[in-house]
Amino acid sequence: MHTDWRSDRIASALRGENPTVLRRLDAGFAVIGDVQFLPGYSVLLTDDPAAERLTDLPRGRRSAFLADMDRLGEAVERACRAADPAFRRVNLEILGNTDPFLHAHVWPRYGWEPPELVGRPVWLYPRRRWSDERFALGPRHDGLREAVGRELDRLAARA
């Protein structure tokens, strides 16, 4: 029996057992975020469990990962713009300070965010936002989840 998918997000995605996976991309997996206080928050996971940082990948795989990040960012932007007229932009981040695997955050940003946070990094949101059950990924996010997946498919067809 495999451990909970959260304890090894990449291995569970490779096994087809990570329920947050939206699509398999060229160098990783597009997943919807566990928290949705900014609806549409998504993450690109590498498909190489040994990669802890971008420079752990050969140059060609680095380029593929960055292209996947761009594709996921555009898909989130399109889906969130269609879902909420207050959508402003997408922030893309590769940080690597907490989780020991290569991943990129795709944060949609909105005009309705608190004025003291709207122009600041998402990481400055109060900790309670990250653990509040009201913002946990759930069935109410299925529509946005499907919309991001459709946009990923459209962008792949255009390539």
Note the pLDDT of residue 3: 62
* Residue 126's CATH number: 3.30.428.10
Note the pLDDT of residue 19: 93
pLDDT in tens, 11-32: 899 999 999 999 999 999 999 9
pLDDT in tens, 41-86: 999 999 999 999 999 999 999 999 999 999 999 999 999 999 999 9
3-state secondary structure of 79: helix
Q: Is residue 2 scored above 60 in pLDDT?
A: no
> How does DSSP classify residue 6?
G
Distance CA 26, CA 28 (A): 6
Query: What mean pLDDT value characterizes the chain?
Result: 93
Note the pLDDT of residue 158: 84
26 vs 4 pLDDT, higher one: 26
Distance CA 50, CA 21 (A): 19
> Going by DSSP bridges, is the β-strand pair 21-24/28-32 parallel, antiparallel, or unpaired?
antiparallel
- Do 38 and 111 contact (CB within 8 A), yes or no? no
Task: Provide the residue range defining the domain that includes 62.
Answer: 5-158
Q: Is residue 36 scored above 80 in pLDDT?
A: yes
Give 119-132 as a 3 state SS string: CCCHHHCCHHHHHC
**Number of structural domains the chain divides into:** 1
Burial class (CB in 10 A: 0-12, 13-18, 19+), 95: exposed
